[in-house]
Amino acid sequence: MAYLSASNLTKMMLDFLKDGGNEVWRNNNLAVRGRAFIGRKGVPDIIGYNKKYGYFVCCEIKAIGDRMSADQMVFLEELSMAGGTAMLCQQVRDETIQVKIYKDGENENWIFKNGRLNKAE
């Protein structure tokens, strides 16, 4: 597998989450030149909800070299503790795509391979 862009990782996770019964969309949270930022800092790249159970679902995307901000980490942890499911999807230097899932104040590491998530060993 080659390195993927943030856009490709986002599309991959959108497809995966939709296939899993979630209504999700890309969250465009970009700064506008000449205008003060008025949104919530740290809101992930993908947001939505589970269609069957109604809980909030989100996923932060990080390509090679990208780092989580403190605001992004706080958002994922707070959502997890409030009953939602928060994810961090990132590709690492060996081309592995890791997904950290935060739920109920806990987190688990998974590996995305061949279109499936497998628990990391």
Per-residue pLDDT of the chain (121 residues; tens, 9 = 90+): 578 899 999 999 999 999 999 999 999 766 677 777 777 889 999 999 999 999 999 999 999 989 999 999 999 999 999 999 999 999 988 888 999 999 988 899 999 887 788 898 7
Contacts of 45 (CB under 8 A, 6+ apart): 6, 10, 26, 27, 59, 60, 61
pTM: 0.89
Q: Which two tokens stand for residue 23?
A: 């209504």
Residue 37 confidence (pLDDT) = 72
- Contact at 8 Å (CB) between 110 and 88? no
Residue 69 confidence (pLDDT) = 93
> Which ranges of the chain would DSSP assign to H, the alpha helix?
6-19, 70-81
Please compute, for residue 30, the number of CA atoms within 13 A of its CA located in the half-sphere on the CB side: 4
Residue 46 confidence (pLDDT) = 97
Q: Alpha-carbon torsion 74, 79, 80, 81, what sign?
A: positive
